[in-house]
Structure 1
Amino acid sequence: MAEYITLGLFVVILLVTLSSGIPLVVSLAMGLIIFLAYGLFRGHKPQAIFGMIKQGVSKVRPVLLLLLIIGAITASWRASGTIPAIVCLSTQIISPQLCLLAIFLLCSAMSTLMGTSFGAAATMGVICMTIARAMGINPMFAGGAILAGAYCGDRWSPMSSSAFIVATITNTDIFDNVKRMLRTGIVPFIGSCILYVLIGIFSAGSGTVPNVSAAFSSSFDMSPVVLLPAFAVIVLSAFKVRVHITMLVSLALASLICVFVQGVPVGELPALYFGGFHSMNPALAHMVDGGGIHTMLEIIAIISIAGSYATIFEGTGLICGMRGMIQKISQRYTPFVSVLITSVLAAIISCEQTLAVMLTQQLCDDVEGDGSALALDLENSAIVITALVPWSITCAAILSFVDAPTSCIVWAFLLYLIPLWTLLLSFKSRKDPNFVASEAGRLLGLAEHDDVRRVRGTIDVLPKVA
């Protein structure tokens, strides 16, 4: 009973504080106090509980370091002209009939390159919405394409902090996860493209593409060298270089370009890294301003607290009762069904992607055969579902960036096609366990990790899948 009272009080605090406009980090800090009190109530000594907190923060320390680097990169890519150059090149391929498809693909490419939905929405998303409005495209459709595209890379980019978080908490390799995410996501991705083409054909406006090249050229040197930071990310990621090293190399290249190509004084680089980029041209400010380590401080605090939640839940046994219920759902249906239901509830309650992922992982870590299967489940549920919750931080922020209506969530096809497609695959695998080892199953991203018999313990030898 104490467990349900504790969790219920936490939910009430979340709902009340968030509806009152209080920052999520404050709500989570209050929740941490509640869980500390629960630990004391259960007889755990204060030093033991603080040890749990320390262990939780230590577990996500690599993620915190990565976020600091990402903050500096988001600013340096702006100042170096990398983002303006990519935007200028991208706008040349947009036409009214294929505007929605182009928006989806461009935002997908940008988010894959940057590894952040926020960064993609705040850069390419803003440009794409400007272009869509100029062409007479309904902002509701355009907003959906931007939201889906921004989360595309946030899910499967090797530069994504959320992908790194999933790999960290499931003890899996991020590049193996990305490979499987690409395979399980290809059908929903193609389906989304087809839907955007059909909508675009019947809703195309009659406007023209705004000339952003001239505006950017007046403030940046747009020579090909400014693309080097982005090119480095692609090449190093292809060779599976560690994410931290890849990011640092890209940051170093962007910094050199800032100084020797764009004329940024060396002494201003620290301020750029921390405070972000601010254009001297008011016409460009709304498109390129932003980035910086300071934009990551709140999410760093959130991840630190969420990380401590995970170890407190485990150390105090707070969620053991709920695990039993989730295990029953998994056994009656499929492991992914239990992960999906848990992630939906976690996203609705937590209003934040990282916390939703960590809560889902804590509650569902026993329903799959190993970490690889759970990692794929998390990427195909909690990571994308958070964006479908209108009051979540990520959804609200992205829609605010591009000035899109909340109704655009309906048109973010990829975000619910991925979980639906994975749900279909999970039922197919339950009906025919040998499907995971078949050629079709392998092409769709399934592997021996996903064999439901591994969870149920009904076979001694599992088929090997490359």
Structure 2
Amino acid sequence: MEKENRKLEFYGGEWVSLAPLLLFIVLIIVTTFFWGSISDGALWVPIFLGLVIPFFLAKDKKHYSNTLIMGMASKDTAFPIATWLFAGVFSRILRMSGFATGLAGLAGSFGVGPVLFTVISFLAATLFSTATGTGFGTIAACMGVLYPAGVELGVNPAFLAGAILGGAAFGDNLAPVSDSTIASATAMDVDVPKCVRSRLKYSLTAAAITLIITIIVGNILGQSANIKEAVSYDQMTLIMIVPVIITLIIAIKSGDLIIATIIGSVLSGAAAVIFGLMDFVQIDAVNPVREALFSVSGSGLDRAVGGAVFTGLSSMTQMVVLCLMLFSAIHIMKCGHGDMKILNALSHVTRRAVGAEVVISFMVIALSSIMGLNAPAILTVGPSFARPLADKHGISRYRMANLMDAQSCTWCYSLPWTCTMMYILSFTVDTSAPLSGIQITPYCFFTFVMTAVMFVSIFLGIGRKDFINVQGEAE
């Protein structure tokens, strides 16, 4: 174990351990920004090259190899992969059963236009993410149901995806059971309930401003609802709302998205078959009128299994492969102490409370943006930097916990190369409106507003003395 945990050394020093992630970011900018590709290769090739090129700069090639494998094999890697696979099946069954079209038709029949639908989607995402504490779970639930329905209704796809992503970030920041909330409270050695109470002013302010911006931009976009298409729908598809509601309740009660989506997949599949929306299995079907949970077709060596379950699993292939390599890059950075180089470089301008909060903000934003993850960034910055700086400058530890949490739920959600962005893109593949990360980023209003709210609070000193008594001690 001691050998496994030893430092990973590079020719050129500790900064080189950042190379896998930096190369990935640079190359993904080339493939998506300049070449305009949203294919698997536009994501896989950059991260693959990001892992291969720095290999030749590692002093111990065997240790580099072991570190790479340890990154792939960690629980941090396995958990999202398992979540994505089960959520992929659940969302695909809902889509192939016609539920999204039915939901769009219902909205259209009630006169719900694109702007109102986007506002409803943002609010639904904020409620679900606050109840469950999971950004990934919120994306799975809302993108699987609301995104295809909104596209059918005529909503600008990137505009809708940005609203859903913003709602997911809201709950990740605010929910008591969120991993980032727990991480920030743990890092600052404070209790969760007071953290949540004291951060309401930031989260609600950002959400209110986001709603206003969403309404204004939605009207500027000039979207027109596909009312004629939307009103014509099979009302029987709306029965699928029952397994969706049951799944959401289970997710909220258990806090476990895997449990919820396993049960949701079984219930939605059963409902779709029982009510004639899908076939259970199709063998060599020719021009079938319905989709099927399972299908077999082809001949000889080309005979293959397909259907909603297979399609749901295969739709997550891009994310799974990307995740395995991306988490290896993150582990290489941490074992090579690249994250500490960033923190140390930013830690020299903390003479006043304002400076300390600005530096901590940039530390968290930088690390979470590079990692694409928020909780690890919080746990890296909190105990070593944020806690001593808070005590040194008389800043409430609750305030510092809130600052780290909020800033970790901003750019980490909206940049084109992060895990959350890649995840949301996986739900647009094989739809009538596939997207790239750069298309969604400009519409991530909540993350930009939250960044602005937190920096305004820094310069106005808002919350700096939260839960500090007259003696200057934490209550």
When the two structures are superposed, what TM-score results if normalisation uses the length of structure 2?
Answer: 0.65
Q: Paired residue for 2:166?
A: 152
**What is the deviation of 1:412?**
4.6
Distance 1:171 1:360 in 2: 13
Q: Paired residue for 1:58?
A: 74
Which amino acid in 2 is paired with 1:109?
A
Which amino acid in 1 is paired with 2:445?
F
Alignment match of 2:333 (pick from 313, 316, 319):
313
Q: Which moved more, 1:239-248 or 1:68-77?
A: 239-248
Q: How many pairs were matched up?
A: 402
**What is the deviation of 1:294?**
1.3
**What is the deviation of 1:271?**
6.0
Q: Paired residue for 2:316?
A: 296
Task: Flag the 1:378–1:191 CA change in 2: closer, same or farther, 3 A.
Answer: closer
Alignment match of 1:269 (pick from 287, 293, 308):
293
Mapped pair 1:4 → 2:15: yes
Q: Paired residue for 1:413?
A: 445
* Structure 2 runs not aligned, ≥5 long: 1-11, 32-36, 129-135, 283-291, 297-304, 388-396
Does the 8 Å contact 1:70/1:247 carry over to 2?
Answer: yes
Distance 1:394 1:89 in 2: 27
SS in 2 for 1:269: strand
Mapped pair 1:228 → 2:256: no
Distance 1:249 1:395 in 2: 22
SS in 1 for 2:74: helix
Does the 8 Å contact 2:89/2:311 carry over to 1?
Answer: yes
**What is the deviation of 1:16?**
4.2
SS in 2 for 1:264: strand
Alignment match of 2:62 (pick from 29, 43, 46):
46
Cα RMSD for the two superposed structures: 4.9
Task: Flag the 1:51–1:411 CA change in 2: closer, same or farther, 3 A.
Answer: closer
Alignment match of 2:146 (pick from 101, 106, 124):
124
Task: Flag the 1:323–1:199 CA change in 2: closer, same or farther, 3 A.
Answer: closer
Distance 2:185 2:64 in 1: 24
Deviation per CA, 1:349-402: give whole Å up to 9, x if none: x6xxx636588558645444499658723543233331699xx75798869964
Does the 8 Å contact 2:100/2:148 carry over to 1?
Answer: no
Distance 1:367 1:146 in 2: 37
Distance 2:329 2:375 in 1: 8
Q: Which moved more, 1:396-405 or 1:105-114?
A: 396-405
Q: Which moved more, 1:354-363 or 1:229-238?
A: 354-363
- Superposed, 1:175-324 pairs within 5 Å as 184-198=202-216, 209-217=227-235, 221-224=236-239, 226-261=240-275, 262-265=277-280, 269=293, 277=308, 292-324=312-344
Task: Flag the 1:69–1:338 CA change in 2: closer, same or farther, 3 A.
Answer: farther
Does the 8 Å contact 1:52/1:308 carry over to 2?
Answer: yes
Does the 8 Å contact 1:148/1:413 carry over to 2?
Answer: yes
Alignment match of 2:87 (pick from 70, 73, 78):
70
Distance 2:72 2:440 in 1: 37
Distance 1:35 1:423 in 2: 36
**What is the deviation of 1:235?**
1.9
Q: Paired residue for 1:286?
A: none
Which amino acid in 2 is paired with 1:32?
L
Distance 1:110 1:275 in 2: 31
**What is the deviation of 1:231?**
0.7
Distance 2:105 2:434 in 1: 21
**What is the deviation of 1:67?**
1.3
Alignment match of 1:23 (pick from 42, 46, 58):
42
Task: Flag the 1:367–1:347 CA change in 2: closer, same or farther, 3 A.
Answer: closer
Distance 1:246 1:172 in 2: 27
**What is the deviation of 1:171?**
10
Task: Flag the 1:150–1:335 CA change in 2: closer, same or farther, 3 A.
Answer: farther
Identical pairs, percent: 11
Task: Flag the 1:198–1:52 CA change in 2: closer, same or farther, 3 A.
Answer: closer
Distance 1:295 1:379 in 2: 28
Task: Flag the 1:358–1:23 CA change in 2: closer, same or farther, 3 A.
Answer: farther
Which amino acid in 1 is paired with 2:213?
L
Does the 8 Å contact 2:152/2:226 carry over to 1?
Answer: no
Which amino acid in 1 is paired with 2:409?
N
* Structure 1 runs not aligned, ≥5 long: 134-141, 279-289, 439-457
**What is the deviation of 1:59?**
2.5
Deviation per CA, 1:239-293: give whole Å up to 9, x if none: 2442322222212211211222224215753569x96649xxxxxxxxxxx9611
Q: Paired residue for 2:4?
A: none
Does the 8 Å contact 2:162/2:444 carry over to 1?
Answer: yes
| Higher-helix-fraction structure | 1
Which amino acid in 2 is paired with 1:26?
V
Q: Paired residue for 2:5?
A: none
Does the 8 Å contact 2:86/2:261 carry over to 1?
Answer: yes
Q: Paired residue for 2:466?
A: 435
Deviation per CA, 1:55-104: give whole Å up to 9, x if none: 563232222211111111111222344434433333344456xx424323
Distance 1:293 1:6 in 2: 33
Q: Which moved more, 1:250-259 or 1:80-89?
A: 80-89
Distance 1:207 1:309 in 2: 43
Distance 2:373 2:345 in 1: 18
**What is the deviation of 1:227?**
1.1
Q: Which moved more, 1:409-418 or 1:63-72?
A: 409-418
Task: Flag the 1:309–1:208 CA change in 2: closer, same or farther, 3 A.
Answer: closer
- Superposed, 1:276-425 pairs within 5 Å as 277=308, 292-328=312-348, 333=354, 337-338=358-359, 340-341=361-362, 355=372, 357=374, 360=377, 364=381, 366-369=384-387, 376-377=405-406, 379-386=408-415, 402=433, 410=442, 412-425=444-457
Distance 2:293 2:75 in 1: 30
Task: Flag the 1:106–1:381 CA change in 2: closer, same or farther, 3 A.
Answer: closer
